A and B are shown apart, each in its own frame.
Chain A
Amino acid sequence: MKVLHFIAKGAVLLILSWQAIAETVVIVHPSNSAQIDAKQVQRIFLGKEKKFSDGAESIPVNQIADSSVRSDFDTTVLGRSSSQVSAYWSKLVFTGKGVPPKEVTNDAEVLALVAKNPSAIGYVDAASVDSSVKVVPLD
């Protein structure tokens, strides 16, 4: 019984520490040299801004709603739950004022798109990042 309890505790610790390690980072094409801060990432992903600070076009790449990296991005960078983000977009879509970012299913797809398009901006788990993209330090 005690052993079980110990295992359970260990599992909880493991989950907690895994969550602490899992970190979402924003990525752009290596050639993108625009100044990008958290506020701009927020504006780009909420459709309020269509250009980077240097005037070049910005194309946000989103992840699908039920991915954990998406919900982390929504909460930490956009500051709202995925449902609220979805309600926000439903307002814009059905008033003809905006088109939500395209969604892909995993980090690898985000990396592939961002690596080949200088306009793209996406986010992935820090552990997935490779040299084909540039990580944007937020603040």
Chain B
Amino acid sequence: MKKIIAMSAVALAVSSGVQADVRINGFANLVGGITSSDDSLYGYDDNVSFSPESLFAIQVSGDINERMTATGQLVARGEDDYDVAFEWAYLTFQATDDTSISAGRLRMPLFRYSASLDVGYSYHWVVAPQSVYNVPFNNIDGVRVDFNGYSDDLEYTFQLTGGKVENDFTLAGQSARLQINNVIVGTAEFTYLNWKFRGVAARGDVTFDIPALEPAFAQLGQIDSGLQSLLEANDDSGLFYGASIEYDAFDWFVAAEFTGAEIEDSFYPDETNFYVTAGLRSGKWTPFITYEKSDLNDGPKFVDRIAGFPAPLQVPLTQLVIGIQQPAISENDTTSVGVRYDYDTNVALKVDVSKYSDDLDESQDATLVRFAVNYVF
């Protein structure tokens, strides 16, 4: 019976030439992990846990007419107690064969794997490298224009995205809120034979609302309101940039991605992150290795400004200026080895071991073992 329905659906679609159907797809990542004793990493501790990185999602899309498609994605994340949220909801207008315009809530194309970041099945890692991919803003309310083309063996994609980002996040264990207005993201991607190159640049007006830092900012403001507004991220211009390169020979691949961000007039440290990854594809097995590094340790900013203040104020000012910046400062690197096994054309099994080393506080070093089942339908 199922087959008959499937067959007639195909016959219908092929004969009419217009696919007026509603498509339902889904994906699931069941990820479990356990750290070495008394350690914690990415939300895992030394008891097996499934909640930090597991998720289940349903995507519904339907063609409104020949040129317009509506897409909605419902995601239940373990870290949010599997509460279901509409992470994406947008309309796409296919303006020409190579240009489309999407509007609504959509994924911000910051990274090489931004678009399919939640679809574990689409990459070899258990979870995309945290040093680069762990940002508190992945979705944007706005508009994205996609342009694709090719000439001979060169394929190219350009994307221009504009809009607004709002999200809750955690800084040094404290909940906080982030708002970025007037976001503009430009990306360019080129595929030439086995090579893939990508570049991205973005800017936005950033506001951090961090209750934990409010008292310190208030104290700073009593001494000098200029320094307070300098350190606060309040509608301050921020920059994001990144590049990636990949060589995929099908039997093996190697890829690297680099990103950086800065919000000059704020307490937030300039950051640079990268990873290098390589893997072999041998039948159903893909063993891989990844080295990643995250650096938000560029030395405290604005310390030179303190010298201009009267001597008695310099000590408390130094404490405040450095103290406010401290929670965001970090520097660490991680090496992971793992393997992906293609159990079926829509199911992958994975396991990896990560060794995390904190360059500022050795006591935070940890070893994490994770295993995953990725499913798409």
List residues of chain A with CB within 8 A of the CB of B102. 96
Q: Which residue of A lies closest to B148 (CB)?
A: A48
For residue B71, which residues in chain A have a CB less than 8 angstroms away from its CB?
96
A113 touches B119 (CB 8 A): no
Cβ contacts under 8 Å, B19 to chain A: 99
Task: Using known A-B contacts A86-B346, A87-B122, A102-B14, determine if residue A94 contacts B73 with beta carbons closer than 8 Å.
Answer: yes
Check if A51 sits within 8 Å of B11, measured CB to CB.
Answer: no
> Contact at A102–B10, with CB atoms within 8 Å?
yes
Q: Which residues of B contact A87 (CB under 8 A)?
A: 121-123
Q: Nearest residue in B to A87 (C-beta to C-beta)? A: B122
Q: Is there an interface contact between B345 and A65, defined as CB atoms closer than 8 Å?
A: yes
Min CB distance B249 to A, Å, is: 11
8 Å CB contact of B155 from A48, A50, A94, A99: A48
A46-100 CB contacts (< 8 Å) to partner B? 48, 50-51, 57, 59, 61, 65-66, 79-84, 86-87, 90-91, 93-97, 99
Contacts of B92 in A (CB 8 A): 96
B97 close to chain A: CB less than 8 A: yes
- Whether a CB of chain B sits under 8 angstroms from the CB of A105 is yes
A23 within 8 A of B: no
B17 with A57: CB separation less than 8 A: yes
Distance A33 CA – B182 CA, assembled complex (angstroms):
50
**CB within 8 A of B115: which of A57, A91, A104?**
A91
- A83 and B90: CB pair below 8 A? no
Q: How far is the CA of A61 from the CA of B150 in the complex (A)?
A: 23
Most buried by B among A83, A103, A109: A83
Q: When the two chains form the complex, which single residue of A43, A51, A79, A105 contacts B97, counting CB atoms closer than 8 Å?
A: A51
A113→B90 CA distance, assembly (Å): 33
Binding site for B on A (CB under 8 A): 43, 48, 50-51, 57, 59, 61, 65-66, 79-84, 86-87, 90-91, 93-97, 99, 102-105, 109, 113, 116-117, 119-120
Per CB-CB distance, the 5 closest pairs between chain A and chain B, nearest first, are A95-B115, A83-B342, A65-B345, A96-B71, A91-B116
Interfacial residues, chain B to chain A (CB-CB below 8 A)? 3, 7, 9-11, 13-15, 17, 19, 23, 25, 27, 57, 59, 61, 69, 71, 73, 88, 90, 92, 97, 102, 107, 115-116, 118-119, 121-123, 146, 148, 150, 155, 250, 281, 284, 342, 345-346, 348, 376
